[in-house]
Amino acid sequence: MKNVDMREPTFMVLAALANGRKHGYALIGEAGELSNGRVKLKVGTLYAALDRLQSQGLVASAGEEVIDGRLRRYYELTDSGAMLLEDEVSRLEGNIRQAKARLRLRAAAGRVS
Amino acid sequence: MKNVDMREPTFMVLAALANGRKHGYALIGEAGELSNGRVKLKVGTLYAALDRLQSQGLVASAGEEVIDGRLRRYYELTDSGAMLLEDEVSRLEGNIRQAKARLRLRAAAGRVS
DNA sequence: CGACCATAGTCAGTCTGTCGATATATATCG
DNA sequence: CGATATATATCGACAGACTGACTATGGTCG
């Protein structure tokens, strides 16, 4: 197992694609929803991430359509992308479990809020 | 709320300090435990993170001792460091909740796992 | 004695993601 | 018509984290 070290925007892209194919621009909105408006994906970040993830085989293109004269290029998560996302999720879960346990000890020991 | 964008080693340092002061070298071991041996902190990473976190007021030095003729320099989490770690934890929790929900849909919708 | 562990650091370099700016095209709203 | 929103995409620059290699000292083990 290699080091993943995924940043938030990248995580958002994968997560947004986890429930079905989407086109690039739509991901910007999805990332906003996923994070309660915290993360506003920038286009530069988005397409760079998409390229990178494709070259790593985590995301694949999934057809194009023309809607109202505007091109939409779709992307989907590959199986390997889904697996990576799952791994990342469990890794994070483990980390936060530990962090919370320790924070609880700290709160118990030192009171205050 | 600003963008934190913390990487794993940094997170580990904060989490390891959350339940009480520790000296630098001890953090290497702690990080290993915290992550089931996944993360092996490098000294360079460690002291760089410690410096950075101190300059951000998230970690403070907490005295020194000489044990068996060897110097130990202790560090502790500041209140503001603890708050940041809490924020980071909730942020991650939200992210993984969403990601898991979407991964579930994907599994339900389609093929294999 | 020499090797090795514990403990403290420093520093130059690398990597890589993210950002901001820029460009292009169409549809729509006022 | 011009602005704005949808949609695509590229590119250079920047910041920051991480790594690897190095130095140093005091124990301990063989």
Q: What is the pLDDT of residues A74-100, one digit of tens each?
A: 999 999 999 999 999 999 999 999 999
Please give the pLDDT value at position A1: 47
Q: Which residue has the tokens 């799952």?
A: A86
A-contacting residues in B 60-99 (Cβ below 8 Å): 77, 79, 82, 85-86, 89, 91-96, 98-99
What confidence score (pLDDT) does residue B49 get?
94
Answer yes or no: do A38 and B106 touch at CB < 8 A. Answer: no
Give mean pLDDT, residues B53-65.
Answer: 92
What residue spans of A1-78 are helical by DSSP H?
A: 8-17, 24-34, 43-55
What CA–CA distance (Å, rounded) separates A63 from A81?
18
| pLDDT value for B1 | 47
d(Cα A73, Cα A56) in Å, to the nearest integer? 19
What's domain B8-109's architecture? Answer: Orthogonal Bundle (1.10)
Are A86 and B77 a contacting pair at CB < 8 A? Answer: no
Name the residue in chain A with its Cα closest to that of B7: A5
B70 burial type by CB count under 10 A (0-12 exposed, 13-18 middle, 19+ buried): exposed
Residues 6+ apart with CB under 8 A from A100: B89
Residue A94 token pair: 């483990």
Query: What is the number of residues in chain B?
Result: 113
Decide if B42 touches A, using CB distance below 8 A: no
Instruction: Give A2→chain B minimum CA distance, Å.
Output: 10
> What pLDDT does A79 receive?
95
**Do residue B105 and residue A20 have CB atoms under 8 angstroms apart?**
yes
Q: Are A19 and A37 in contact, with CB atoms under 8 Å apart? A: no
Query: Do residue B89 and residue A82 have CB atoms under 8 angstroms apart?
Result: no
Residue A79 makes CB contacts below 8 A (sequence gap 6+) with: B112
Give residue A26's pLDDT.
Answer: 95
Quickly state the pLDDT bin for A112 (edges 50, 70, 90).
low
Chain B residues with CB inside 8 Å of A86's CB?
103
Q: What is the mean pLDDT of chain A?
A: 91
Q: Calculate the alpha carbon distances from A72 to A28, A31, A66, B22, B43 in Å.
A: 14, 18, 6, 53, 48
Distance of alpha carbon A91 from the chain centroid: 14
- Output the CATH code of domain A8-110: 1.10.10.10
| Strand D nucleotides where any atom sits below 7 Å of a protein CB | 6-12, 16-22, 25-28
Q: Is nucleic acid strand D under 7 Å from A109's C-beta?
A: no
